[in-house]
A and B are shown apart, each in its own frame.
Chain A
Amino acid sequence: MIEVKNVTKIYQSGNVETKALKNVSFVINKGEFVAIMGPSGSGKSTLMHILGALDTPTSGQYFLDGQDVSKLSDDELADIRMQKIGFVFQSFNLLSRATVLRNVALPLIYTNTTAKERDEKAKKALASAGLTEEHWHHLSNQLSGGQMQRVAIARALINNPAIILADEPTGNLDTKTGEIVLFSFQDLYEQGRTVVLITHERYVAEHAERIISIRDGFIESDEKVKHRKQLNNHI
C-alpha cells in the first residue's frame, strides 16, 4: 500500500548539508491507522511532506498505491495529491469567507465536475466527518475550532483518497475538542480508511493502532499500541 524504501532527504543551504531523513524504510498497509511520532527536528515533518507528495526524497523510493512517487515532476505530484491524498492541517487552512460546503468542495473545482455533483459529494463527506447539517451553510469563520477541523477532514475525504494525512490535527485545539477530532479519525479507520497521523505527543499518538517513533532522522521504534485510547474506555 505505502512503501518507503531507504528514503534519505538532504537539505542544502549554502555549504551546510542537513540530513533530515537517514535511510528510512517502512510499510503501511491499507486500512491501518498509524501515528508518526517524534519531537520537533526529528524529521517527521520532512517525512510527512514526502508521504504527502509535497516533496520528493533525495534518494530512495516511495511507492504509493504501487506507484513510485519519488521521481515525479511538480505537476505529476499535484495529480497524485489530488487523487490519492487527503490533507488535514494543524491550522485547518479553510477559506474564511467561504461557506462550509464550498470549503469542502474546493479540491473538486480543479476537476471537471458540475456544481451539483460537487454539492452532493461535499454533503456526503461532511456526513462522514460527523458535522451536522445545520452548519453546512455557515461561513467557516463562524465555526468553533473542532467544527473547523471536521470541515477540513471532510475536505480531505472528498476525493476518496487512498491515504489521509493529518499533520498535528489537534495542535490548535483544547484537549477535549482534540479528543473529539481524534475520535473522528478513529471513526474513519473503522470505515476502512488508511489514516496517518503526525504528532509529537504520545498521548495523541496512542489513539492510533501503531506508532512509528522517529528521532534524528532514524526510525527509533515501530510498534503496535497495546492499550489504544478509545471513546468508550476512558470518558
Chain B
Amino acid sequence: MTPALEASGLGRRYGKKWALRDCSLNLPVGRVIGLVGPNGAGKTTLLSLAVGLLRPSAGEVRTLGRPPRSVLAEVGFVAQDKPLYRGLTVAETLRMGGWLNPGWDEGLARQRIARAEIPLQQKVGSLSGGQRSQLALAVALGKRPKLLLLDEPVADLDPLARREFLKALMEEVADSGVTVVLSSHLLADVERTREYLVLLSASRVQLADDTEALLGHHRMVTGPRARAAGLLADHQVVNAEYTERQASLLVRTSGPITDPVWTVRPATLEELALAYMSAPTADAGSASPSSQEISA
C-alpha cells in the first residue's frame, strides 16, 4: 500500500541551521497520526515539505507516493496560522474552494460550517479563532482529500474550541476514512486522536510507530540505583532519573523484566514522549541512545 508520507534522509536547512535533518519516515494510510514535538522541533518544516511549500535541502519526500506538488488535489492542508482571505465572506471562501479545486464538495463544506454554526455572510476577518479554524478545516475537507495535513490546528484555541475542533475532525475521519497527520507541541492535544505517533525533537525524528506497539514495547521501571547497570546491559534505557538510592528508568524492553527488585508498570504516552524528547542526540528513527549518554 502506498504510504501516506514517505521520507528518506529528508532535511531542510535555513542558512547554516537545520530545521529538520536525516528524517526517514514511512507513515501508513488510514490512520490518525500525531506529530508531536516541542516548538521549533521541525514539525512545520516537515509538513511544508510534504505539500511542496518548501523544497528539501537534502533527501527526498513523497506524498501519497508522488512528488508533493503533483499531488495537491488529493491533499488537504491547513497551515498553522489558518491562512484565509480576510476580505472574503464565509460563503465566498467556500465558493473559492470550488474555484480552486475540481473535486470540490460544496455540500460537505457547507455542512461543516452549519454544524459549527458560523454565519455564511460574515467576513472572514471578523471570525473568532475557533470559527476560523473550523472554516479552514472545512476548506481543506471540501477538497475530499485522501490525506489531511494539519499544522498545530488547535494551538491558538481555548480549551472549549480545542475540544470542539478535535471532535469535528474525528467525526470527519470516522465518516470518510481520510488519513490525518496532526501536529502539536502538546501531547494532550492529540491524545484522544492519535493512533500513530511521530515524535520530533531537535530537528530529528526520535520515534515513529503505532501507539499500541509503542506502549507495548516500553515500561516504566523503578528500583535500586545500584542494580541499574545490570538492566542497562539487557535493555535499552531511553531515559533515566536517579535519586540517591532509586532509579526511575524508561526502558524499551527486548524481553520480560523478571528480576523482582524492579517494579515494572506500563509507561504512559506522556512519559514516553518526554523521555524521548529529553534524549535529543538519538539517531533518527532508531531511538537507541548510547549508555554513556544515559549514565552521564
A binds B: no
